[in-house]
Chain A
Amino acid sequence: MISLEKVSCAYKEKSILENISLQIESHISILGENGAGKSTFAKLLCHLQAYKGEIHIDGKNLEQFSLLDLAKTIAYVPAKLEIYDTSISVEEFVLLGRFAYKERFFAYSKEDRKKVQEVLERLHLEHLSGVSMGTLSSGQTQLVLIAQALAQESKIIIFDEPTANLDPKNSKIIGMYIKQLQEKYQIILITHDLHLARFINAPVLFVQDKGIRLEEDFFKSTKLSELYGVDFEDLAVVYA
């Protein structure tokens, strides 16, 4: 369980989120307009963002997590792969997810490598294992990022706009996997993709005006119109 108590944070002295108190016990989807603070919220949970207030994960204060413990607790799947050295192979890239389990200054173990093979098989990526990361398509890259997160074996996985760069087919594939992963992991999904959010069918947290609140009946067109401030009526067929 993730709990936030009176959490506020800012970026370059500009306040992004203010006085957030909430508890996340299960899967959750986070929506909101561009720049509302969704990704900042994800960064908060990954301890990449300075904040005031208190954040607890399973009763433990976030400040008390070592980097390694946090990596074993939360995995983060970014929208886009930021990578400097693209010569690394898919298999080696996924193996990096095992860093927190590796003995310091020693090589990755056989179990680590076995785990990676399992994950690659599960996501049907075995045929790509020797391919370098620089040559993958957007869809393949997103799958490999998920594979790395799975290799990390953390309880919580945050997806930050996983379908932002994908065509409908690949979006669907990613959506199916996320749905499957809900069985074993706590999934926090940040997205603009209403199809995906609806498909995942988790309670929706809406980020607006520096606050976050739970929205019931989020997918009703009247509700969407109200929240986003534009008319969704003509999309009523899709979001009835």
Chain B
Amino acid sequence: MLRTLVWLAFVLIFLLSPFIGAVNLDITKIVQGDSLSHTLFFELRLPRVLFAFLAGAILALSGMLFQTLFRNPLMTPYTLGISSGAVLGAGIAIKLGLATLFFGVASVSLFGFLGAFLTVLLLIYLSQFLHTAYNSSLLLLGIALSLFYTSALMIVFYLGSSIQNDMLIRFTMGSLSIIGWEHPILLGGVLFVLLGSILLYKYELQLMSISDTSAQLKGVNTKNTTLLLLLVSSLAIGVLVSISGPIGFVGLIVPHMVLKLYPVTIEKRILITALFGGFFLVFCDTLTRVLQTQSELPIGIVTALVGGPFFIYLIVKGSEK
């Protein structure tokens, strides 16, 4: 019953979302090719809703993946510092004023991706030295990295011009404001690769969701599987963050919400998590437009406001005796 209600609400919001915003659309004119409503609807609203959906799916899947691979409910690309790495990379690109394209990829995106990718490599390298309580130590490493990146970003701020800093501040708040179809199409490709990899390795993941040793004893090459899925996922996160900025908490809370609604093995939760994440971010994005005053609220702030209390709840509940 609860499930049906949640999905119904989600679909309803998804369908209404393109019609909500600062400018009221004239519904009768949307189909007229030369009207403002037509342009707003097809070049701004619709791509944005789709973009939000794809971004939510990528964030939720990555969160689910990290939580499963490390068997820790607090592990996400965000908490491990991978998103922060992407932000720093993108920040450096903005500071350097690199607006040019490398092989057709915007330099901000490229640097964002590199930031995420290098962070993953750094985490993998550092994790070799961890012995005791592997996963919680890794989480601490991620938090330390996040703090380090934040300080490094402060230096970029310090050196930046006010125009660059304004861009950077907006960027760090996260935004789903995009124009046209280029970004949704790129993100669609990224989601396809991410979802495809996860589905391909779903039985390995299912075994690894029990324990690492158990998976090895059944014949899973856990090292290679972890490495491959981490790389694909950090690629996805890197691309996403370089476009939208960091959007926290979706990767953390959506997998837990899905597990509450569908307490079944991970193999059966993959597609549900992707859908739920997509709808959830569309919901949050719609909120930013409903709640707007002079300008709309940055999406990162809305997801953090929803996710922060949930995060605290998880920590408290997790350490309950």
A residues apposed to B, CB below 8 Å: 12, 46, 48, 66-68, 70-72, 75-76, 78, 82-85, 87-89, 92-93, 96-97, 99-100, 102, 105, 107-108, 132, 152
Contact = CB atoms under 8 A, between A and B. Distances in A.
Contacts of A75: 217
Nearest to B201: A105
Interface of B: 68, 71, 131, 200, 203, 206-207, 209-211, 213-214, 216-221, 259, 263-267
Contacts, number: 71
Given A92-B265, A96-B206, A99-B207, A87 B259 contact: yes
Closest 9 CB pairs of A and B: A71-B219, A84-B71, A85-B209, A68-B219, A88-B265, A100-B219, A99-B218, A87-B263, A82-B211
A68 B221 CA distance: 9
A71 B215 CA distance: 10
A70 B263 contact: no
A97 B219 CA distance: 9
Contacts of B218: 71, 96-97, 99-100, 152
Contacts of B206: 88, 92, 96
Given A96-B218, A100-B219, A152-B218, A88 B209 contact: yes
Given A96-B207, A105-B200, A85 B265 contact: yes
A165 B293 CA distance: 61
A67 B216 contact: yes
A99 B220 contact: yes
Most buried by A among B216, B217, B219: B217
A89 B221 contact: no
A66 B71 CA distance: 25
Given A48-B213, A82-B213, A67 B207 contact: no
Nearest to B200: A105
Contacts of B216: 48, 67
Contacts of A68: 219
Nearest to A87: B263
B219 A70 contact: yes
A132 B68 CA distance: 17
Nearest to B207: A96
Given A82-B211, A84-B71, A99-B220, A12 B131 contact: yes
22 contacts: A46-B217, A48-B213, A48-B217, A67-B219, A71-B217, A78-B214, A82-B213, A84-B68, A84-B209, A84-B210, A85-B210, A87-B259, A87-B263, A87-B264, A88-B264, A92-B265, A96-B207, A99-B218, A100-B219, A105-B200, A107-B203, A152-B218
Contact of A96 (B68, B131, B210, B259): B210
A80 to B, nearest CB: 11
Contacts of B217: 46, 48, 71, 75-76
A88 B207 CA distance: 10
B223 to A, nearest CB: 10
B67 to A, nearest CB: 9
B228 to A, nearest CB: 13
B265 A89 contact: yes
Nearest to A85: B209
A107 B209 CA distance: 17
Contacts of B213: 48, 82
A192 B232 CA distance: 46
Contacts of B267: 92
B210 A83 contact: yes
Contacts of B221: 67
Contacts of A107: 203
Contacts of B68: 84-85
